[in-house]
Structure 1
Amino acid sequence: MASPMDTHQPANSLDQSANQSWSSQFSGNIDYSPQQIPQTTSTTTTFTNSRVSNVNMNNNTMSSSSPLPQRQPFVIRPPAFIPPVQNEGGIMVRGPRMPNNSPMNIPSHTPQVHPVHQLSPQQQPSQEDLNRPPTIRDLINLQQHFDGMFQSHHASVEKYVNATIQPIQKKVVSLETQNELLKADVASLQVEVQDLRFACNHNAQYSRRSTIRILGIPETDSENCAEKVVKALIDNNVHPGMKTDDVEVAHRVGRANRPTAGANPKPRHIIGG
Protein backbone atom coordinates (compact mmCIF):
# COMPACT_ATOMS: atom_id res chain seq x y z
CA MET A 1 0.00 0.00 0.00
CA ALA A 2 1.33 3.34 -0.94
CA SER A 3 1.78 6.06 1.72
CA PRO A 4 0.01 9.46 1.47
CA MET A 5 3.25 11.08 0.51
CA ASP A 6 3.51 8.77 -2.52
CA THR A 7 0.17 9.96 -3.92
CA HIS A 8 1.46 13.51 -4.42
CA GLN A 9 3.51 14.38 -7.43
CA PRO A 10 7.02 15.72 -6.95
CA ALA A 11 7.52 19.51 -6.85
CA ASN A 12 9.63 19.54 -10.03
CA SER A 13 6.98 17.81 -12.06
CA LEU A 14 4.26 20.20 -10.80
CA ASP A 15 6.35 23.25 -11.65
CA GLN A 16 7.13 21.81 -15.09
CA SER A 17 3.47 21.13 -15.87
CA ALA A 18 2.43 24.61 -14.70
CA ASN A 19 5.11 26.28 -16.81
CA GLN A 20 4.18 24.25 -19.85
CA SER A 21 0.49 25.16 -19.54
CA TRP A 22 1.32 28.89 -19.16
CA SER A 23 3.79 28.75 -22.07
CA SER A 24 1.25 27.06 -24.31
CA GLN A 25 -1.39 29.74 -23.60
CA PHE A 26 0.62 33.00 -23.64
CA SER A 27 4.16 32.42 -24.97
CA GLY A 28 3.69 30.59 -28.23
CA ASN A 29 6.73 28.47 -29.14
CA ILE A 30 9.03 29.88 -26.43
CA ASP A 31 10.01 27.24 -23.95
CA TYR A 32 10.31 28.39 -20.32
CA SER A 33 11.13 25.02 -18.85
CA PRO A 34 12.50 25.01 -15.31
CA GLN A 35 15.47 22.90 -16.37
CA GLN A 36 17.42 26.01 -17.46
CA ILE A 37 16.81 27.94 -14.22
CA PRO A 38 19.29 25.98 -12.05
CA GLN A 39 21.99 26.36 -14.68
CA THR A 40 21.48 30.11 -14.95
CA THR A 41 21.33 30.47 -11.21
CA SER A 42 24.46 28.48 -10.72
CA THR A 43 26.23 30.52 -13.38
CA THR A 44 25.18 33.78 -11.75
CA THR A 45 26.17 32.51 -8.36
CA THR A 46 29.53 31.42 -9.68
CA PHE A 47 30.12 34.76 -11.31
CA THR A 48 29.15 36.57 -8.15
CA ASN A 49 31.37 34.39 -6.06
CA SER A 50 34.22 34.96 -8.45
CA ARG A 51 33.75 38.74 -8.16
CA VAL A 52 33.65 38.55 -4.38
CA SER A 53 36.76 36.44 -4.35
CA ASN A 54 38.49 38.90 -6.64
CA VAL A 55 37.50 41.78 -4.44
CA ASN A 56 38.69 39.99 -1.34
CA MET A 57 41.95 39.18 -3.09
CA ASN A 58 42.45 42.79 -4.09
CA ASN A 59 41.66 43.97 -0.57
CA ASN A 60 44.17 41.53 0.88
CA THR A 61 46.78 42.66 -1.58
CA MET A 62 46.17 46.37 -0.85
CA SER A 63 46.11 45.84 2.88
CA SER A 64 49.35 43.95 2.73
CA SER A 65 51.10 46.63 0.66
CA SER A 66 49.87 49.95 2.22
CA PRO A 67 46.96 50.73 4.56
CA LEU A 68 44.25 53.06 3.28
CA PRO A 69 44.02 56.45 5.06
CA GLN A 70 40.80 56.90 6.98
CA ARG A 71 38.60 59.73 5.68
CA GLN A 72 37.59 62.35 8.22
CA PRO A 73 33.84 63.19 8.40
CA PHE A 74 32.90 66.45 6.70
CA VAL A 75 30.55 68.60 8.80
CA ILE A 76 28.66 71.54 7.25
CA ARG A 77 28.00 74.26 9.79
CA PRO A 78 25.53 77.13 9.15
CA PRO A 79 26.90 80.68 9.06
CA ALA A 80 26.76 82.47 12.40
CA PHE A 81 24.71 85.70 12.66
CA ILE A 82 26.78 88.57 14.01
CA PRO A 83 24.55 91.35 15.35
CA PRO A 84 25.59 95.00 15.09
CA VAL A 85 27.80 96.19 17.93
CA GLN A 86 27.94 99.75 19.26
CA ASN A 87 31.40 100.94 20.16
CA GLU A 88 32.33 103.60 22.69
CA GLY A 89 31.93 106.40 20.14
CA GLY A 90 28.27 105.54 19.56
CA ILE A 91 28.91 104.21 16.01
CA MET A 92 27.18 100.99 14.97
CA VAL A 93 29.72 98.54 13.51
CA ARG A 94 29.52 94.90 12.47
CA GLY A 95 31.93 92.20 13.44
CA PRO A 96 32.68 89.77 16.24
CA ARG A 97 32.53 91.21 19.71
CA MET A 98 35.81 90.83 21.50
CA PRO A 99 35.54 89.38 24.99
CA ASN A 100 35.97 91.87 27.76
CA ASN A 101 38.36 90.50 30.32
CA SER A 102 38.03 93.48 32.65
CA PRO A 103 36.14 92.65 35.84
CA MET A 104 32.63 94.07 36.13
CA ASN A 105 31.70 95.97 39.23
CA ILE A 106 28.19 94.83 40.08
CA PRO A 107 26.79 96.75 43.03
CA SER A 108 25.50 94.42 45.66
CA HIS A 109 22.19 95.16 47.33
CA THR A 110 21.66 94.06 50.88
CA PRO A 111 18.11 94.52 52.12
CA GLN A 112 17.88 96.59 55.24
CA VAL A 113 15.53 95.31 57.87
CA HIS A 114 13.94 98.03 59.93
CA PRO A 115 12.85 96.61 63.27
CA VAL A 116 9.34 97.55 64.25
CA HIS A 117 9.98 97.24 67.94
CA GLN A 118 13.31 96.72 69.63
CA LEU A 119 13.54 95.46 73.19
CA SER A 120 15.80 97.04 75.72
CA PRO A 121 18.51 94.95 77.45
CA GLN A 122 16.33 94.69 80.54
CA GLN A 123 13.45 93.37 78.42
CA GLN A 124 15.52 90.73 76.64
CA PRO A 125 14.39 87.23 77.67
CA SER A 126 16.90 84.92 79.31
CA GLN A 127 17.92 81.53 77.95
CA GLU A 128 15.91 79.82 80.65
CA ASP A 129 12.80 81.70 79.61
CA LEU A 130 13.37 80.71 76.00
CA ASN A 131 13.77 77.04 76.78
CA ARG A 132 10.75 76.62 79.01
CA PRO A 133 7.29 76.08 77.44
CA PRO A 134 4.95 79.09 77.22
CA THR A 135 2.49 79.62 80.04
CA ILE A 136 -0.82 81.42 80.27
CA ARG A 137 0.98 84.46 81.65
CA ASP A 138 3.18 84.56 78.55
CA LEU A 139 0.12 84.45 76.33
CA ILE A 140 -1.51 87.25 78.30
CA ASN A 141 1.64 89.36 78.02
CA LEU A 142 1.79 88.67 74.28
CA GLN A 143 -1.83 89.68 73.89
CA GLN A 144 -1.25 92.88 75.86
CA HIS A 145 1.80 93.61 73.73
CA PHE A 146 -0.20 93.27 70.48
CA ASP A 147 -3.05 95.30 71.96
CA GLY A 148 -0.62 98.10 72.70
CA MET A 149 0.77 97.93 69.16
CA PHE A 150 -2.73 98.05 67.65
CA GLN A 151 -3.74 100.98 69.84
CA SER A 152 -0.63 102.98 68.95
CA HIS A 153 -1.14 102.20 65.26
CA HIS A 154 -4.80 103.13 65.51
CA ALA A 155 -3.90 106.43 67.15
CA SER A 156 -1.37 107.27 64.42
CA VAL A 157 -3.85 106.39 61.68
CA GLU A 158 -6.59 108.43 63.35
CA LYS A 159 -4.26 111.41 63.64
CA TYR A 160 -3.33 111.18 59.98
CA VAL A 161 -6.96 110.87 58.90
CA ASN A 162 -8.02 113.84 61.01
CA ALA A 163 -5.18 115.97 59.64
CA THR A 164 -6.24 115.05 56.11
CA ILE A 165 -10.00 115.46 56.57
CA GLN A 166 -10.06 118.75 58.51
CA PRO A 167 -9.00 120.96 55.53
CA ILE A 168 -11.53 119.15 53.35
CA GLN A 169 -14.29 119.75 55.91
CA LYS A 170 -13.44 123.46 56.09
CA LYS A 171 -13.54 123.72 52.33
CA VAL A 172 -16.90 121.93 52.21
CA VAL A 173 -18.34 124.33 54.81
CA SER A 174 -17.09 127.32 52.81
CA LEU A 175 -18.65 125.94 49.64
CA GLU A 176 -21.95 125.35 51.42
CA THR A 177 -21.96 128.99 52.65
CA GLN A 178 -21.27 130.26 49.14
CA ASN A 179 -24.03 128.06 47.82
CA GLU A 180 -26.54 129.52 50.29
CA LEU A 181 -25.53 133.07 49.34
CA LEU A 182 -25.92 132.26 45.68
CA LYS A 183 -29.35 130.82 46.33
CA ALA A 184 -30.41 134.06 48.06
CA ASP A 185 -29.07 136.12 45.15
CA VAL A 186 -30.96 133.97 42.67
CA ALA A 187 -34.19 134.39 44.64
CA SER A 188 -33.84 138.19 44.73
CA LEU A 189 -33.02 138.28 41.04
CA GLN A 190 -36.09 136.21 40.27
CA VAL A 191 -38.28 138.74 42.15
CA GLU A 192 -36.65 141.61 40.28
CA VAL A 193 -37.17 139.87 36.94
CA GLN A 194 -40.85 139.41 37.81
CA ASP A 195 -41.24 143.13 38.62
CA LEU A 196 -39.48 144.12 35.41
CA ARG A 197 -41.66 141.80 33.42
CA PHE A 198 -44.78 143.35 34.97
CA ALA A 199 -43.52 146.87 34.24
CA CYS A 200 -42.68 145.95 30.69
CA ASN A 201 -46.16 144.53 30.21
CA HIS A 202 -47.71 147.68 31.69
CA ASN A 203 -45.72 149.90 29.36
CA ALA A 204 -46.69 147.78 26.38
CA GLN A 205 -50.37 148.05 27.32
CA TYR A 206 -50.06 151.78 27.88
CA SER A 207 -48.65 152.32 24.40
CA ARG A 208 -51.66 150.53 22.93
CA ARG A 209 -54.23 152.81 24.63
CA SER A 210 -56.28 155.40 22.68
CA THR A 211 -54.69 158.51 24.16
CA ILE A 212 -54.93 162.11 22.99
CA ARG A 213 -52.58 165.04 23.39
CA ILE A 214 -54.12 168.24 24.79
CA LEU A 215 -52.28 171.57 24.46
CA GLY A 216 -52.80 175.02 25.97
CA ILE A 217 -54.14 174.09 29.39
CA PRO A 218 -52.44 176.29 32.01
CA GLU A 219 -50.18 174.44 34.39
CA THR A 220 -50.43 174.91 38.16
CA ASP A 221 -48.86 173.30 41.17
CA SER A 222 -50.58 170.23 42.63
CA GLU A 223 -53.02 170.04 39.76
CA ASN A 224 -55.34 167.18 38.78
CA CYS A 225 -54.78 166.62 35.11
CA ALA A 226 -57.88 164.42 34.70
CA GLU A 227 -60.24 167.14 36.07
CA LYS A 228 -58.64 169.78 33.87
CA VAL A 229 -59.03 167.61 30.80
CA VAL A 230 -62.73 166.89 31.50
CA LYS A 231 -63.44 170.61 32.19
CA ALA A 232 -61.68 171.67 29.00
CA LEU A 233 -63.64 169.15 26.91
CA ILE A 234 -66.97 170.23 28.44
CA ASP A 235 -66.28 173.95 28.11
CA ASN A 236 -65.34 173.58 24.46
CA ASN A 237 -68.37 171.33 23.73
CA VAL A 238 -66.12 168.53 22.62
CA HIS A 239 -67.68 165.94 24.97
CA PRO A 240 -70.43 167.62 27.07
CA GLY A 241 -71.48 164.51 29.06
CA MET A 242 -67.96 163.38 29.98
CA LYS A 243 -67.07 162.55 33.61
CA THR A 244 -63.83 162.32 35.50
CA ASP A 245 -64.23 158.55 35.96
CA ASP A 246 -64.16 158.10 32.21
CA VAL A 247 -60.54 159.21 32.09
CA GLU A 248 -58.14 156.35 32.85
CA VAL A 249 -54.94 158.32 32.75
CA ALA A 250 -53.98 161.98 32.33
CA HIS A 251 -50.54 163.48 32.92
CA ARG A 252 -48.20 166.06 31.52
CA VAL A 253 -45.15 165.06 29.50
CA GLY A 254 -41.74 166.65 29.40
CA ARG A 255 -39.58 168.42 31.93
CA ALA A 256 -41.27 170.76 34.45
CA ASN A 257 -40.84 174.48 33.88
CA ARG A 258 -38.20 176.26 35.96
CA PRO A 259 -39.13 179.32 38.05
CA THR A 260 -36.78 181.50 36.01
CA ALA A 261 -38.49 180.60 32.72
CA GLY A 262 -40.50 183.86 32.67
CA ALA A 263 -43.75 185.38 33.84
CA ASN A 264 -45.92 183.36 31.42
CA PRO A 265 -44.12 180.06 30.67
CA LYS A 266 -45.49 177.79 27.97
CA PRO A 267 -47.50 174.95 29.60
CA ARG A 268 -46.56 171.36 28.98
CA HIS A 269 -48.78 169.02 27.01
CA ILE A 270 -51.27 166.69 28.69
CA ILE A 271 -51.77 163.13 27.50
CA GLY A 272 -55.06 161.54 28.53
CA GLY A 273 -57.11 158.57 27.60
Structure 2
Amino acid sequence: MPNLGIPPFLPVGSATAPFHSRNTSSPPSPPAANKSPNPARPRRRRRTLTLALPTVAAAEAQTAATMVANAGIERVLWTEAEIAARVSEVAAELGADLRGLREPAVVVGVATGAFLFLADLVRRVDAPLAVDFVRAESYGDGTESSGRPRITSDLKVDVAGKHVVVVEDIVDTGNTVSCLIAHLEKKGASSISVCTFLDKPARRTANFQLVGDGKFYRGFECPDSFVVGYGMDYAELYRNLPYVGVLKAEMYKKDRSN
Protein backbone atom coordinates (compact mmCIF):
# COMPACT_ATOMS: atom_id res chain seq x y z
CA MET A 1 0.00 0.00 0.00
CA PRO A 2 1.49 3.34 -0.95
CA ASN A 3 2.49 5.81 1.79
CA LEU A 4 0.22 8.83 1.43
CA GLY A 5 1.74 10.75 4.40
CA ILE A 6 -1.15 9.78 6.67
CA PRO A 7 -0.13 8.05 9.88
CA PRO A 8 -1.60 4.63 10.34
CA PHE A 9 -4.69 4.29 12.46
CA LEU A 10 -3.99 3.51 16.09
CA PRO A 11 -6.73 2.22 18.30
CA VAL A 12 -7.76 4.23 21.33
CA GLY A 13 -5.99 3.02 24.43
CA SER A 14 -2.91 2.01 22.53
CA ALA A 15 0.38 2.73 24.33
CA THR A 16 1.57 4.79 21.40
CA ALA A 17 -1.63 6.70 20.80
CA PRO A 18 -1.31 10.45 21.38
CA PHE A 19 -3.45 11.82 24.22
CA HIS A 20 -4.85 15.33 24.12
CA SER A 21 -6.70 16.55 27.18
CA ARG A 22 -9.25 19.25 26.67
CA ASN A 23 -8.98 20.45 30.27
CA THR A 24 -5.53 20.45 31.89
CA SER A 25 -6.46 22.59 34.90
CA SER A 26 -7.11 21.12 38.33
CA PRO A 27 -10.64 21.17 39.68
CA PRO A 28 -11.41 24.31 41.69
CA SER A 29 -10.68 24.14 45.40
CA PRO A 30 -13.56 24.61 47.77
CA PRO A 31 -13.83 28.16 49.14
CA ALA A 32 -11.87 28.76 52.32
CA ALA A 33 -13.86 29.00 55.45
CA ASN A 34 -14.51 32.53 56.59
CA LYS A 35 -12.53 32.78 59.81
CA SER A 36 -13.66 35.73 61.78
CA PRO A 37 -11.61 36.93 64.80
CA ASN A 38 -12.69 35.59 68.11
CA PRO A 39 -14.58 38.42 69.82
CA ALA A 40 -13.52 37.07 73.19
CA ARG A 41 -9.81 37.41 72.29
CA PRO A 42 -9.18 40.78 70.57
CA ARG A 43 -5.99 41.24 68.60
CA ARG A 44 -3.07 42.73 70.53
CA ARG A 45 -1.68 45.97 69.14
CA ARG A 46 2.04 45.99 68.47
CA ARG A 47 3.97 48.60 70.41
CA THR A 48 6.96 50.28 68.80
CA LEU A 49 9.78 51.14 71.19
CA THR A 50 11.88 54.15 70.26
CA LEU A 51 15.34 54.13 71.81
CA ALA A 52 17.11 57.45 72.19
CA LEU A 53 20.63 56.65 71.00
CA PRO A 54 23.30 59.14 72.12
CA THR A 55 25.08 61.04 69.39
CA VAL A 56 28.83 60.75 68.93
CA ALA A 57 29.30 64.29 70.23
CA ALA A 58 27.18 63.59 73.32
CA ALA A 59 29.04 60.36 74.05
CA GLU A 60 32.38 62.10 73.62
CA ALA A 61 31.31 64.94 75.91
CA GLN A 62 30.21 62.46 78.55
CA THR A 63 33.51 60.58 78.31
CA ALA A 64 35.46 63.83 78.57
CA ALA A 65 33.42 64.94 81.58
CA THR A 66 34.09 61.64 83.34
CA MET A 67 37.80 61.82 82.63
CA VAL A 68 37.97 65.43 83.80
CA ALA A 69 36.42 64.48 87.11
CA ASN A 70 38.96 61.71 87.63
CA ALA A 71 42.12 63.30 86.27
CA GLY A 72 42.53 66.56 88.17
CA ILE A 73 41.80 68.64 85.08
CA GLU A 74 40.48 72.15 85.60
CA ARG A 75 38.93 72.47 82.14
CA VAL A 76 39.18 71.01 78.66
CA LEU A 77 40.68 73.28 76.01
CA TRP A 78 40.34 71.05 72.93
CA THR A 79 38.34 67.85 72.60
CA GLU A 80 39.41 64.73 70.76
CA ALA A 81 37.24 65.64 67.75
CA GLU A 82 38.60 69.19 67.59
CA ILE A 83 42.17 67.90 67.73
CA ALA A 84 41.57 65.39 64.93
CA ALA A 85 40.04 68.05 62.68
CA ARG A 86 42.89 70.50 63.24
CA VAL A 87 45.61 67.87 62.75
CA SER A 88 44.06 66.99 59.38
CA GLU A 89 44.22 70.65 58.34
CA VAL A 90 47.88 71.01 59.36
CA ALA A 91 48.76 67.73 57.61
CA ALA A 92 47.15 68.92 54.38
CA GLU A 93 49.20 72.13 54.45
CA LEU A 94 52.42 70.31 55.30
CA GLY A 95 51.83 67.61 52.70
CA ALA A 96 51.31 70.18 49.94
CA ASP A 97 54.70 71.71 50.77
CA LEU A 98 56.56 68.40 51.04
CA ARG A 99 55.26 67.05 47.73
CA GLY A 100 57.20 69.77 45.93
CA LEU A 101 60.58 68.59 47.26
CA ARG A 102 63.09 66.72 45.11
CA GLU A 103 63.67 64.05 47.76
CA PRO A 104 61.77 62.88 50.85
CA ALA A 105 61.88 65.10 53.92
CA VAL A 106 62.89 63.87 57.37
CA VAL A 107 60.28 64.38 60.08
CA VAL A 108 61.93 64.58 63.50
CA GLY A 109 59.68 64.09 66.49
CA VAL A 110 60.74 65.55 69.83
CA ALA A 111 60.26 62.81 72.42
CA THR A 112 58.30 62.19 74.38
CA GLY A 113 55.57 64.80 74.25
CA ALA A 114 55.13 64.90 70.47
CA PHE A 115 54.65 61.17 69.90
CA LEU A 116 50.85 61.24 69.53
CA PHE A 117 50.81 64.39 67.42
CA LEU A 118 53.55 63.04 65.15
CA ALA A 119 51.78 59.68 64.70
CA ASP A 120 48.48 61.33 63.75
CA LEU A 121 50.21 63.93 61.59
CA VAL A 122 52.38 61.71 59.37
CA ARG A 123 49.51 59.28 58.71
CA ARG A 124 47.65 62.17 57.10
CA VAL A 125 50.56 63.58 55.09
CA ASP A 126 50.32 62.51 51.46
CA ALA A 127 54.03 62.76 50.64
CA PRO A 128 57.11 60.52 50.96
CA LEU A 129 59.03 61.08 54.19
CA ALA A 130 61.34 59.50 56.76
CA VAL A 131 60.69 59.60 60.51
CA ASP A 132 63.11 59.74 63.42
CA PHE A 133 63.12 60.95 67.02
CA VAL A 134 65.33 63.13 69.14
CA ARG A 135 65.05 63.65 72.87
CA ALA A 136 65.62 67.14 74.24
CA GLU A 137 64.79 67.81 77.88
CA SER A 138 64.14 71.12 79.56
CA TYR A 139 61.26 70.45 81.99
CA GLY A 140 62.18 67.29 83.88
CA ASP A 141 59.39 66.62 86.40
CA GLY A 142 58.47 70.28 86.90
CA THR A 143 56.13 72.79 85.29
CA GLU A 144 58.70 75.45 84.40
CA SER A 145 61.30 75.18 81.65
CA SER A 146 64.86 75.26 82.94
CA GLY A 147 65.86 77.39 79.96
CA ARG A 148 68.84 75.10 79.37
CA PRO A 149 67.63 72.30 77.06
CA ARG A 150 69.96 69.40 76.43
CA ILE A 151 69.82 66.64 73.83
CA THR A 152 69.86 63.28 75.57
CA SER A 153 69.11 61.04 72.56
CA ASP A 154 70.19 61.87 69.02
CA LEU A 155 68.99 60.97 65.52
CA LYS A 156 69.87 57.82 63.60
CA VAL A 157 68.82 59.14 60.17
CA ASP A 158 71.30 61.19 58.16
CA VAL A 159 69.79 64.64 57.54
CA ALA A 160 72.66 66.13 55.52
CA GLY A 161 71.32 67.96 52.46
CA LYS A 162 67.69 67.21 53.37
CA HIS A 163 64.67 69.20 54.44
CA VAL A 164 63.86 68.53 58.11
CA VAL A 165 60.54 69.11 59.86
CA VAL A 166 60.86 69.34 63.65
CA VAL A 167 57.59 68.16 65.25
CA GLU A 168 56.97 69.52 68.75
CA ASP A 169 54.13 69.10 71.22
CA ILE A 170 54.37 72.71 72.42
CA VAL A 171 56.60 75.71 71.74
CA ASP A 172 56.62 78.21 74.59
CA THR A 173 59.93 79.92 75.42
CA GLY A 174 61.45 78.74 72.14
CA ASN A 175 64.66 77.60 73.82
CA THR A 176 64.28 73.92 72.92
CA VAL A 177 63.42 74.67 69.29
CA SER A 178 66.40 77.03 68.99
CA CYS A 179 68.67 74.31 70.38
CA LEU A 180 67.31 71.71 67.95
CA ILE A 181 67.56 73.97 64.91
CA ALA A 182 71.21 74.72 65.69
CA HIS A 183 71.88 71.01 66.24
CA LEU A 184 70.26 69.97 62.93
CA GLU A 185 71.98 72.75 61.03
CA LYS A 186 75.34 71.44 62.24
CA LYS A 187 74.34 68.03 60.88
CA GLY A 188 73.95 69.59 57.43
CA ALA A 189 70.18 69.95 57.03
CA SER A 190 69.52 72.11 53.97
CA SER A 191 66.30 73.59 55.36
CA ILE A 192 64.42 73.26 58.65
CA SER A 193 60.73 73.73 59.39
CA VAL A 194 58.97 73.57 62.76
CA CYS A 195 55.54 72.01 63.19
CA THR A 196 54.13 72.33 66.70
CA PHE A 197 50.83 71.09 68.03
CA LEU A 198 50.53 74.01 70.47
CA ASP A 199 52.11 77.44 70.30
CA LYS A 200 52.36 79.57 73.45
CA PRO A 201 53.73 82.93 72.21
CA ALA A 202 52.99 84.67 75.53
CA ARG A 203 56.01 82.89 77.03
CA ARG A 204 58.42 83.36 74.10
CA THR A 205 61.90 84.44 75.14
CA ALA A 206 63.96 83.10 72.23
CA ASN A 207 63.29 84.22 68.67
CA PHE A 208 64.35 81.12 66.76
CA GLN A 209 65.28 81.39 63.09
CA LEU A 210 64.15 78.80 60.55
CA VAL A 211 66.69 77.56 57.99
CA GLY A 212 66.43 77.85 54.21
CA ASP A 213 62.88 77.45 52.94
CA GLY A 214 61.64 76.34 56.35
CA LYS A 215 58.12 77.25 57.53
CA PHE A 216 56.37 77.41 60.89
CA TYR A 217 53.21 75.32 61.28
CA ARG A 218 51.04 75.23 64.38
CA GLY A 219 47.87 73.51 65.49
CA PHE A 220 46.46 75.81 68.17
CA GLU A 221 47.56 78.93 70.01
CA CYS A 222 47.67 77.98 73.66
CA PRO A 223 46.86 80.22 76.64
CA ASP A 224 49.50 80.73 79.31
CA SER A 225 48.44 77.72 81.40
CA PHE A 226 50.05 74.40 82.21
CA VAL A 227 48.36 71.92 79.87
CA VAL A 228 48.43 68.13 79.70
CA GLY A 229 46.98 65.39 77.54
CA TYR A 230 47.46 64.20 73.96
CA GLY A 231 51.06 63.25 74.68
CA MET A 232 51.87 66.10 77.08
CA ASP A 233 52.54 65.28 80.70
CA TYR A 234 53.11 66.37 84.23
CA ALA A 235 55.65 64.11 85.98
CA GLU A 236 55.12 61.55 83.15
CA LEU A 237 51.35 61.34 83.80
CA TYR A 238 48.32 62.42 81.71
CA ARG A 239 49.95 61.66 78.33
CA ASN A 240 47.18 59.19 77.46
CA LEU A 241 44.31 61.68 77.76
CA PRO A 242 42.62 62.02 74.34
CA TYR A 243 41.98 65.73 74.86
CA VAL A 244 44.05 68.72 76.04
CA GLY A 245 43.17 70.22 79.39
CA VAL A 246 44.47 72.67 81.96
CA LEU A 247 45.93 70.93 85.00
CA LYS A 248 44.56 72.06 88.34
CA ALA A 249 47.12 74.17 90.17
CA GLU A 250 46.81 72.14 93.36
CA MET A 251 48.01 69.05 91.49
CA TYR A 252 51.52 70.44 91.04
CA LYS A 253 51.61 72.89 93.95
CA LYS A 254 51.06 69.91 96.23
CA ASP A 255 54.16 68.25 94.78
CA ARG A 256 56.22 71.42 95.19
CA SER A 257 55.42 71.55 98.91
CA ASN A 258 56.66 67.97 99.48
TM normalised by structure 1 equals 0.17
Q: Which has the larger radius of gyration?
A: 1
Larger fraction in strand: 2
Larger fraction in helix: 1
Structure with more contact order per residue of length (Cα contacts < 8 Å, sep ≥ 6) = 2
